[in-house]
Structure 1
Amino acid sequence: MAITLVFTLILALSIWIVLRERAIRVLADRLETIVNAPDRQDHAKSGALPRLSNAIGIMVAQLASVGHRLPQRHPITGMATRELLIDAIDTRGPGHSESCLGVIEVLDFDRLCAFDAQSAEQLIKAIATRITDMVNSSRVVAQIDRGRFAIWFGATPMSDARAEFDALLYALQNRVTADTIDLLPQFACGLAIEQGERLPGTEFLARAIAALVSGTGDGAADGDVRIVSAKQRFVFEQGLRQAIARHEFRLVYQPFVNADEERVSGGEALLRWASAEHGDVPPTTFIPIVEAVGMAEEVGMWVLNEACDEAARWPFSGLSDLKVAVNLSALQLGRGDFDAVVERMLKRHSMPARALELELTETVAAGKSLGIGNLFQRLRALGVSMSIDDFGTGFSSLSYLKNLKFDKLKIDREFVTDVHRQRDSQAICQSIIALGRGLGIEVLAEGVEQWDEFAWLRRYGCALYQGYYFSKPLMPREFLAFASDKDHIRSLVEVGPTTLKNRINEHMT
């Protein structure tokens, strides 16, 4: 009998905690009174407790049968949960021939939870408040999962629902301060539309979740990203998303030296990040993150615009025959109107097309050679030069050199380093130089750091160079000063007997 009493008490109290219904609370209080009463044995003998236990069992079964319809609230945000949403969908009127259901996922939530649950909770609360404030009160809004929200638009016409959904997504991307972290939240979104057929609420919701599309890329960065923790990477991402607005990006320019003409022929624009929180972040750290989180196109367009703006001023310093080289991402090449974007940018900065050189890696060129042939033709028709970076490292077939017309090949630094001592590198460099000569394409050796490397490549016919032997990447004013110092450049490219004698003496002392 004691076991029965305890079991009945626990059952009643559990129902009170979970359902919080007034009648159940009264029942639980009454049961507790009976159990604690001095005459509880009389209640047991009279059969009151067994009858009460049976009645509770029947109530629990009845409540369980309709439990999915109870209007529950999320414990953190106070929003309705998926049960109420599904109920609203299932009870829609018969005239709903076209219905819309949108789902929004906070992509940063689970990752933030892994190392800062308090900030994650504040983030999800802030977003829930924004959604509630912005969505029309006639909509059913629910938190269907830890980091997912759904908006039931009901019988709203598809065009109106989509416009409302897009406006909501745009507004949600404003900055959120969660504890000590300043966030620009990232979202995935899905919109399911019911036309003609009448779907159960659970299936309708499943379709909307399946339609989730992320705008932040596909996958984390690879092992080259030197970040010691998930938290540090997350903070880096947030900083990168605000770097353009905070004016933390800058460009430096590493000169191209033409040894035949003893002059600087141009420079490569290289991105640097001076973070307010982290100081100067190495490109080997932040560039892979930019690509991983889907910022490559946005950052690439910033670099292109900034480089054109700077290069357009070079002629006013007496350097009218310089080219600026800008690296392209695969995402930029995927834009069918990229040539039009480039043309508008050149006009905006009053910059001649011949002063712009676009670089892409061998892997990107080979992988997209069939799809970007027409784009290449249009860019070259504008007068823009095209070059291929890291040549010799990315692809085994040279067929793309036939499909795509390049103006320059850049020998990868892997083959340039110690080329005067490495026979395999010598064979590769000689072959690339000969290939360029045969195709009528300029060849540039990048990563030249020693005079001996330069002298060997010069002897075998390479004319263009880039690397620390000549200059490190320079700020704009420093670049112009270097390009204007013709005597210094002449001394760097000299390989005659006097220079050779001086070099030998340097090695001996």
Structure 2
Amino acid sequence: MLQKMREDGGGVLGIIRFLDFDRLCAFDPSLGDQLLQNVATRVRGMLPSERLLAHVDRADLAIWFGFAATEEAAGREMEAIEYALGEALRIGERTILPKVSSQIASVGSEEPGTALARALARLTVGGGPSMTAPQSDMEGGDAHDDFAFEQDLRLAMNRNELRLCYQPLVDAAKARVCGAEALLRWQHPGRGAVSPAVFVPIMEAAGLAHEFGLWSLNSAIREARRWQGLGFGDLCVAVNVSGHQLERDDFPVLVQRTLHRHALPPGALEIELTEGVAMGDCERAARLFSEIRAMGVAIAIDDFGTGYSSLSTLRKLAFDKIKIDREFVTEVDKRRDSQAICQSVIALARGLGIRVLAEGVERREEYAWLRAHGCGLFQGFYFSPPLETADFLAYLDDAAGLAAKLAVDPRQAHQAISEALSA
């Protein structure tokens, strides 16, 4: 390849990198070699016969487009190759979903070896997810288990192992269920139900947050549209959004397109993101919030009180709901520090003219204290755990059961408050 680059005296060079090569070799060295050979064969089949393909480093393939090629044309071709290489491969008894990244570089009059090194360096600095992933808690967290776990996660969507559960959002003031939070679940055929606390960090580290987020958004909106068809048109669905999704400037457009595809009114959707994500890049968040709310979609700040936001920062952001974190809700009827925080958040929300919801409510006494202090929206196991779709619809029909949960003897609430104040 270097000789051909010398002969052409300039042109466009493309690099394809298998990002997981080192981890795969740690898992099984022969598997890494087999995968590279398989990938090289697939790339060769996508290229014209005269196009030069070479293995230039451990995990890198190079394509020489020649002096007549333009960066624009080469870039489109590389994007198509990268997309095609994302399909699952079957090597022996193992299914592998390759993680690849690509880069192109114009080659001028410099020495070909220097041009190649420069192109490889650009890919290292700017290309794709990290080649190292955090240790998981699964089965000891060694290299074999980590790699196998990540591969299973990458294939989960294609294998229909993902689903959404729905935890009711209760409006105590109106004595009704006003919506549900859509929560992602993974049912692995061998591992069973995998906790989100385990798979979500791996998902984000592996660069899958956007893909999984879009799946969740699409599935939740489709389900909310079905609720409307069943006569539950006043329900909203809340969907969690990660910081990785908000890094994309086209996120508001994706939301709008998904709503349009399923014919769901924007007012039936609520976007949830954590306080830390909202405050990470305040100027960017403010712009995205403005675009999303302009559609009619509501925004809720989750885990409120656990971050480090200032009131001046909050003033720059336009949102519709604050969710008090379960850390402060747990035993709020007994803990003076949690009481002070919850009262402050409720007062802040009232002053900002937005709604406040207490999440993680697990005991009747917690609900009674919060209700007595002005909180009107609730979520938690006291009312219901996350439910499968059919069970959620059944919960909506159980008006008597919800009424019993909401009924609080004023004397009981007063007693709980008095005991807390005198503790």
CA separation in 2, counterparts of 1:420 and 1:225? 34
Q: 1:301 aligns with which of 207, 210, 214?
A: 214
**Change over 3 Å in CA distance of 1:162–1:333 after alignment to 2:** closer
Gaps of 5+ in 2: 417-423
User: Could you tell me which amino acid in structure 1 is paired with residue 15 of structure 2?
Assistant: V
CA separation in 1, counterparts of 2:374 and 2:76? 61
Write the mapping of 1:463-478 to structure 2, written as runs, cut at 5 A. 463-478=376-391
**Change over 3 Å in CA distance of 1:440–1:167 after alignment to 2:** closer
Q: 2:17 aligns with which of 105, 108, 112?
A: 105
Alpha-carbon displacement from aligned partner over 1:332-377 (angstroms, at most 9, x marks no partner): 3233333332222222222111111111111111123211323322
2:115 maps to 1:199 = no
CA separation in 1, counterparts of 2:3 and 2:131? 35
Write the mapping of 1:258-269 to structure 2, written as runs, cut at 5 A. 258-269=171-182
1:386 is matched with which residue? Answer: 299
1:235 is matched with which residue? Answer: 148
**Change over 3 Å in CA distance of 1:157–1:318 after alignment to 2:** closer
Write the mapping of 1:486-505 to structure 2, written as runs, cut at 5 A. 486-496=399-409
2:247 maps to 1:334 = yes
1:397 is matched with which residue? Answer: 310
1:190 is matched with which residue? Answer: 103
User: Could you tell me which amino acid in structure 2 is paired with residue 238 of structure 1?
Assistant: Q
1:89 is matched with which residue? Answer: 5
Between 358-367 and 314-323, report the one with greater CA deviation: 314-323
Q: CA deviation at 1:219?
A: 6.7
Write the mapping of 1:52-71 to structure 2, written as runs, cut at 5 A. none
The answer (yes or no) to whether the contact 2:23–2:131 under 8 Å persists in 1 is: no
TM-score (norm: length of structure 1)? 0.76
Instruction: Give the superposed CA RMSD.
Output: 2.3
Partner SS for 2:284: coil
CA separation in 1, counterparts of 2:120 and 2:186? 37
CA separation in 2, counterparts of 1:220 and 1:432? 39
Q: CA deviation at 1:298?
A: 1.3
CA separation in 1, counterparts of 2:123 and 2:265? 43
CA separation in 2, counterparts of 1:414 and 1:345? 34
Identity of aligned residues (%): 48
CA separation in 1, counterparts of 2:277 and 2:130? 17
CA separation in 1, counterparts of 2:96 and 2:136? 25
TM-score (norm: length of structure 2)? 0.91
User: Could you tell me which amino acid in structure 1 is paired with residue 160 of structure 2?
Assistant: H
The answer (yes or no) to whether the contact 2:361–2:380 under 8 Å persists in 1 is: yes
CA separation in 1, counterparts of 2:39 and 2:317? 48
The answer (yes or no) to whether the contact 2:90–2:96 under 8 Å persists in 1 is: yes
Q: CA deviation at 1:288?
A: 1.0
Q: CA deviation at 1:325?
A: 0.4
Q: CA deviation at 1:224?
A: 7.2
1:446 is matched with which residue? Answer: 359
Q: CA deviation at 1:261?
A: 1.5
User: Could you tell me which amino acid in structure 2 is paired with residue 101 of structure 1?
Assistant: L
CA separation in 2, counterparts of 1:140 and 1:320? 59
Structure of greater relative contact order (alpha carbons < 8 Å, 6+ residues apart): 2
Partner SS for 1:141: strand
CA separation in 1, counterparts of 2:305 and 2:189? 38
CA separation in 1, counterparts of 2:330 and 2:309? 21
**Change over 3 Å in CA distance of 1:223–1:185 after alignment to 2:** closer
Whose radius of gyration is greater, 1 or 2?
1
**Change over 3 Å in CA distance of 1:431–1:497 after alignment to 2:** closer
CA separation in 2, counterparts of 1:163 and 1:456? 60
Q: CA deviation at 1:222?
A: 4.9
Write the mapping of 1:239-258 to structure 2, written as runs, cut at 5 A. 239-258=152-171
CA separation in 1, counterparts of 2:402 and 2:200? 31
1:136 is matched with which residue? Answer: 48
Between 364-373 and 382-391, report the one with greater CA deviation: 364-373
Q: 2:123 aligns with which of 212, 224, 228?
A: 212
CA separation in 2, counterparts of 1:86 and 1:384? 55
**Change over 3 Å in CA distance of 1:148–1:265 after alignment to 2:** same
Aligned length: 412
CA separation in 2, counterparts of 1:374 and 1:396? 18
